[in-house]
Amino acid sequence: MGRPPCCDKVGVKKGPWTPEEDIILVTYIQGHGPGNWRAVPTNTGLLRCNKSCRLRWTNYLRPGIKRGNFTDHEEKLIIHLQALLGNRWAAIASYLPERTDNDIKNYWNTHLKKKLETNDGISSSRQPISKGQWERRLQTDIKMAKQALRDALSFEKPDCPPELKYYYTLANSSHSSASSTSSATYASSTENISRLLEGWIKKSPAVPAMSRANSDPAQHSDQTNNLGDSVFCIESATTPDVSTEGSSEVQLPLELMETWLFDECIGGDYGQEIGDLQLDEF
C-alpha cells in the first residue's frame, strides 16, 4: 500500500528556520499546546511540513532545553547510557531531561565516538556485556521506567516538594482545560524563545504571568535561570508521555541512576547488584 508522504512536497519550505517562523510556531503552541501537528502548518500559515514543525519544537523551541557545552557529568552519563542502551537516543535523553535526543546524538557522533575510539582508557576498560548481563540491565531499565511513572503519578504524597506539586497541578489543569491554562504552561517557552531570539526582537511577546512568577522584568533572567531546578517538572508538563519512557522526573531516582551508572565501571557484577539490590528498594 505504501505510506503517503507526511506533507505535500510542493510549496513546503525546507532548510533552517527563521526567527519569524519560530515566533509563529511558539505563539501557536502557546495557544493550542503541542500536538495535532498536522493542523499546525494549516492553522499558522507556516510553509513547513508538520513533521518539521514538531521537530523544531521538540529539538529547539520546547521549554527547559539546555543548550551549549555538555558538562563532564553529562558526558559520562551519556557514555554509560550509550553502553547500556545502545543508540537509543530518545531513551538516553530521558535521563538527561534538559537535552534533546538529537542533541545527544549529535554530541555522540561528533565528540564522544571519536573520543572513545582514540581513548582506550574508557572503551577498553569496559568488559563485553554478556547476554545475561544485558538482560538484567534491560530489566533494570524497565524497573526504572516503572518507578519513574509511579513517582510521577504520586505527586499528591505529603512529602512531595511544593515545586513538584505546582507543576503537576499546572500540567493537569492544562490538559483538562487547555484554553484557560495553556498560556501559563507555556509561559516558560516564551522565556526560552526570547533568549533564543535575543537580538532579533526587542521585547518578548506579552504572556500572562505564571502564577508564581514575579512580573518584574528585572527578575526575568533569574527566573529563567531557576528553570533548571524544576526542569523535570516542566518537561512533564509539556511532554507528559516522556515519563512512560523512563524519564526520571523525580530527583531521587535520577541521582541513584547516576550513582549506579558511575559505579558500574568500578563494581564487578553491576547488573546483579543494581537489579537485585538497589533498585528493588525504590
Q: Is 11 in the site for DNA (CB under 7 A)?
A: no
Say how far apart CA 74 and CA 127 lie, in whole Å: 22
Task: Pick from 35, 132, 205, 208 the residue near DNA by CB under 7 A.
Answer: 35
Q: Is 197 in the site for DNA (CB under 7 A)?
A: no
Tell the smallest beta-carbon distance from residue 142 to DNA (Å): 14
Q: Are residues 99 and 275 in contact, defined by beta-carbon separation less than 8 angstroms?
A: no
Q: Is 175 in the site for DNA (CB under 7 A)?
A: no
Say how far apart CA 81 and CA 84 lie, in whole Å: 5
Task: Pick from 19, 20, 31, 36 the residue near DNA by CB under 7 A.
Answer: 36
Q: Is 186 in the site for DNA (CB under 7 A)?
A: no
C-alpha cell at 231: 526542569
Of residues 65-104, those binding DNA (CB under 7 A): 67, 87-91, 101-103
Task: Pick from 62, 80, 99, 105 the residue near DNA by CB under 7 A.
Answer: 105
Tell the smallest beta-carbon distance from residue 190 to DNA (Å): 18
Strand-pairing partners, residue 201, are: 198
C-alpha cell at 206: 506579552
CB atoms within 10 A of CB 42: 9
Say how far apart CA 164 and CA 77 lie, in whole Å: 24
Among the residue ranges 134-142, 146-154, 183-191, 237-245, the one whose residues contact DNA (CB under 7 A): 237-245
Percent helix, strand and coil across the chain, each to the nearest 5: 65, 0, 35
Of residues 115-134, those binding DNA (CB under 7 A): none
C-alpha cell at 203: 521585547
Say how many residues touch DNA, by CB under 7 A. 42
Say how far apart CA 82 and CA 261 lie, in whole Å: 11
Please say which residue, 56 or 80, places its beta carbon nearer to DNA: 56
Q: Is 6 in the site for DNA (CB under 7 A)?
A: yes
Tell the smallest beta-carbon distance from residue 97 to DNA (Å): 13
Long-range contacts of 209-217 (CB under 8 A, 24+ apart): 210/184, 211/184, 212/166, 213/187
Please say which residue, 90 or 129, places its beta carbon nearer to DNA: 90
Distance of CA 17 to the CA centre of its chain: 21
Say how far apart CA 147 and CA 257 lie, in whole Å: 12
Q: Is 44 in the site for DNA (CB under 7 A)?
A: no
Say how far apart CA 212 and CA 230 lie, in whole Å: 13
Tell the smallest beta-carbon distance from residue 108 to DNA (Å): 8
Among the residue ranges 7-15, 73-81, 124-132, 147-155, the one whose residues contact DNA (CB under 7 A): 7-15
Give the footprint of DNA on this chain (CB under 7 A). 1, 3-4, 6, 13-17, 35-38, 48-52, 54-56, 58-60, 67, 87-91, 101-103, 105-107, 109-111, 239, 241, 245
